[in-house]
Amino acid sequence: MGAFSDLLLIAAEEAEHAEIHAGDGGWWADTAGIMLILPFVAYLLIIFFGKRLKYQGGEFAVGALAINLLWATVLFVMNMTGGVLDQTTFEIARIGSDLVFELGWVVDGLSIMMYFLVNFVGLLVFIYALGYMEGDVRVANFFASFSIFAGAMLVLVGAPNLIQLIVGWEGVGLASYLLIGHYWEDMDNVKAGNKAFMTNKVADVGLILGAILLGLAIGDFDFGHLSEAAVAGNVELNAVALTGGFLLFFGAMGKSAQFPLHIWLPDAMAGPTPVSALMHAATMVTAGIYLMARVFPLFQNMAQDARPWMIAIGAITLFAIGLLALVANDIKKVLAYSTVSQLGYMMTAVAAGGYTAGLFHLFTHAFFKALLFLGAGSVIHAVHSNDMKDMGGLRKYMPTTYWTFIVGSLALAGIFPLAGFWSKDEILATLGHEGYTTVMWIAIAGAFVTAFYMTRAVALTFFGEYKGHGKPHESGKLMARPLIGLAIPSIFVGVLNIPGVDWPGIGNFTEWLGVRVVAMGDYHPESVDFGLAAVGLAAALLGIVVGWMIWGADRKTQEERDSFAVPVLYPLLRQKYYIDHAALGIVGATTGPLARFVDWTNTYIIDGIVNGVGALTRGLGTFVYGILDQRGVDGIFNGLSAVADSAGSGLRKLQTGRIQQYAASFVAGAIVLAVVFVLVS
């Protein structure tokens, strides 16, 4: 363990243009694997004992993440104050003498950030779910699947190699399928779960093929070795780097909902709201961004030709898909399209070389997006509807939900000094510095759109007169307190990475994140570009002002109030650019003929073979039973039995009981034997 850590430190110190100073984390790093295991222990406890408890096993789920948060917080603080770099692996299989399959956990700046994020946000969402799911259907099943969801994400982010990452990747996909389709009595929910599962399976083909290609090229699947090979210009890796990079990116497009594979994410809102919150904040959709960050040296040093394509996809995602939130009436779908847009920002930043910028936005976004989803869930819980036409005026009934939702919305819009302002501004600065000026202006336009549709959501939900039925109410403490717990970091965490600021004793986010086997060497602005920051802020403020001018005034009905539409554009948006139609058309065009081919193959080939084998078996059975067994084996035994019976019947007549007859027979027999002996001799 110690020797491997020393090698990691040496590799880090020899990285080009960088020197990393870090400790091995001691006992806390050596036992960090506990975080990967505990959610699965909670899953088993929920299955066996959950239904006997007040919260149907939610206690176990909350307890597991509470313990995990202790580990994650200690490691986070240790990394802030001195750096932690360590890796623990166990060999589980070997092909030949060289290709080794290992499981374990890595502890470095990237994984520590994700450990903290998953466990902190996850714990608050789990506590919220205790109140949200009370009295719901299959609560124990929900918390069991929810624990798998968090556990699989931790397995993914802790993976020291591509093989374990794929295990966690598929675990997250399975859990999301179960959770999206939690209300399986409704066919729409079943379809949403299937859509998410199948879309991701298409993308997963790229991930698996890319992992195989890159792993075979360098001789193992370890991320550290992959990074070192990329920096060193390994000849074998260079031959497949671009293809492997494209394949990994395709896998990331599915998980992180990049255009055009974004179509599954809005429909995934069919699941319970706590699922949406965790999925959009710290698990599932962030996995693709995490993968790109974990293999960042590959794209930085060898697969550079893939980066323009990644930037183009990210730019389309951040702007075009964000526009779809303008016509969404389901409050959760508004936030879902917002998530897709923000994932586009992250992907664009990482592809442009902004490793820190993309991940800092992932970090800040997790807090305010979880806050917004939990706020939406609080509203839905109060009015029993997802549709904003059934809302309005809720700020008077739900003050805690209202004010925390405002905080989340302003942070998402990038309003100073909230968290989203700092992380989004760093993305803009990175794009400008790297020469992607056009993309930078698209991102600024995206900031306007974000503020515009969030103003619509806030106005329709919390202002005007209430348009729903029944009397809305504030959520209970189990749901309200997590909102406050997420609102606080949504305000303040942005200051952790202010350009040019090193906080005494702890440095800044860029330094913490940079503790890796191979230093990233990405761009981080040394000071705030006040001009660019002002432009980005002005775009967001303009979006709020224009949005309030359109939706601020109340109307008799929400339909009248929400009647604004841009000709040509809005009809296109309501059809989702016809991308969903095209996807369904492709699925229908392929699955119909494929289903008929499979049915024909099953009926005429597989069934023919099975029926033929059955007929042959029946014929052989008839022959064996009717001829060999009945006439052969049974005939022999019956014949022998008849002979024995006849012989017995004959011999029975000799048993008369008369001694004189026995003596005479004895004498006659003796005479016969004597004659025989005489004749023979």
Q: What is the pLDDT of residue 20?
A: 56
Contact 244, 80 (CB under 8 A): no
Residues 292, 313 contacting (CB under 8 angstroms)? no
Predicted confidence band of residue 608 (pLDDT cuts 50, 70, 90): confident
DSSP code of residue 576: G
pTM of the model: 0.85
Q: Is 654 helix (H, G, I), strand (E, B) or coil?
A: coil
CA dihedral 422, 427, 431, 437 (to 10 degrees): -70
Q: Residue 104 is inside which H or E element, if any? A: strand 99-107
Rg for the chain (alpha carbons), in Å?
Answer: 36
Lowest mean pLDDT of 4-13, 80-89, 453-462, 655-664, name the range: 4-13
As a whole number of angstroms, the distance between CA 103 and CA 151 comes to 15
Summarised one tens digit per residue, pLDDT across range 287-309 is 999 999 999 999 999 999 999 99
Q: Is pLDDT at 591 greater than 80 in this prediction?
A: no
> Distance (Å, rounded) from C-alpha 156 to C-alpha 86?
17
The Cα–Cα gap between 418 and 488 comes to 10
pLDDT score at 8 = 46
Given this model, what pLDDT does residue 21 score? 63
Residue 470: per-residue pLDDT = 80
Q: Mean pLDDT throughout 669-676? A: 82
Once rounded to an integer, what is the mean pLDDT over residues 582-594?
A: 76
Report d(CA 378, CA 273) in Å as an integer.
9
339 contacts 369 by C-beta, under 8 angstroms: yes
Percent with pLDDT over 90 in the chain: 65
Q: What angle do CA 279, 398, 446 make, to 5 degrees?
A: 45
pLDDT score of 455: 96
Helix 419-433 to helix 331-351 angle (10° resolution) is 40
In the chain, the percentage of residues whose pLDDT exceeds 70 is 95
Residue 603 pLDDT more than 90?
A: no
Which residues, including other chains, have CB under 8 Å from residue 115's CB and lie 6 or more apart?
32, 35, 68, 71, 72, 75, 76, 154, 157, 158
Distances (CA, A) of 324 to 424, 446, 572, 591: 20, 12, 9, 28
Q: Identify the pLDDT of residue 401.
A: 96
Residue 502 to residue 573: CA distance in whole angstroms: 44
Cβ atoms of 195 and 204 closer than 8 Å: no
Cα 497 versus chain centre, distance? 28
Cis preceding-peptide flag for 417 (omega within 30 of 0): yes
Q: How large is the average pLDDT for residues 425-438?
A: 94
Segment 9-53, tens digit of pLDDT: 444 444 444 455 667 888 999 999 999 999 999 999 999 998 889
pLDDT score at 491: 96
pLDDT, tens digit, for every residue of 615-656? 888 888 888 877 887 777 777 878 888 888 787 777 676 676
CA atoms within a 13 Å half-sphere pointing along the CA-CB vector of 241: 26
Are 303 and 330 a contacting pair, CB within 8 Å? no
Per-residue pLDDT of 485-504, as tens digits, reads 999 999 999 999 999 888 99
Is the Cα dihedral 408, 412, 416, 419 positive or negative?
positive
Burial of residue 325 (number of CB atoms within 10 Å: 0-12, 13-18, 19+)? buried
Which helix (H) or strand (E) segment is 86 a member of? strand 86-95
Which pLDDT belongs to residue 16?
Answer: 41
Is pLDDT of 681 > 70?
no
Cβ atoms of residues 256 and 362 within 8 Å: no
Cα dihedral value 77, 78, 82, 86, nearest 10: -140
Helix, strand or coil, per DSSP, at residue 24:
coil
Q: What is the pLDDT of residue 12?
A: 42
Identity of the amino acid at 259: F
| Range name among 99-113, 132-146, 389-403, 585-599 with the lowest pLDDT average | 585-599
- Summarize pLDDT for 209-232 with one digit per residue, the tens: 999 999 999 988 999 999 999 999
Please state, in angstroms and rounded to a whole number, the distance separating the CA atoms of residues 224 and 160: 8
In this structure, what token pair is assigned to residue 249? 């990116």
Nearest to 551 by CA among 377, 379, 389, 416: 389
Q: What is the pLDDT of residue 9?
A: 44
Identify the DSSP state of 629. I
Residue 358, pLDDT > 90, answer yes
Token representation of residue 511? 């330094």
CA of 509: how far to CAs of 77, 359, 455, in Å?
12, 10, 30
User: What is the token pair recorded at 7?
Assistant: 């090698």
Q: What is the pLDDT of residue 368?
A: 95
Quick one: average pLDDT of 177-201? 88
Tell the residue number behind the tokens 């008799």, with chain if given: 556
Residue 170: in which H helix or E strand, if any?
A: helix 162-180
Beta pairing, strands 86-95 & 99-107: antiparallel
* Mean per-residue pLDDT of the chain: 89
Q: Residue ranges of the domains in the chain?
A: 311-327+336-351+360-574, 582-644
CA distance 601 to 597: 6
pLDDT band at 61 (very low <50, low <70, confident <90, very high): very high
Model confidence pLDDT, tens digit, residues 522-533: 777 888 889 999
Q: In terms of Cα–Cα distance, which of 4, 155, 85 is closest to 519?
A: 85
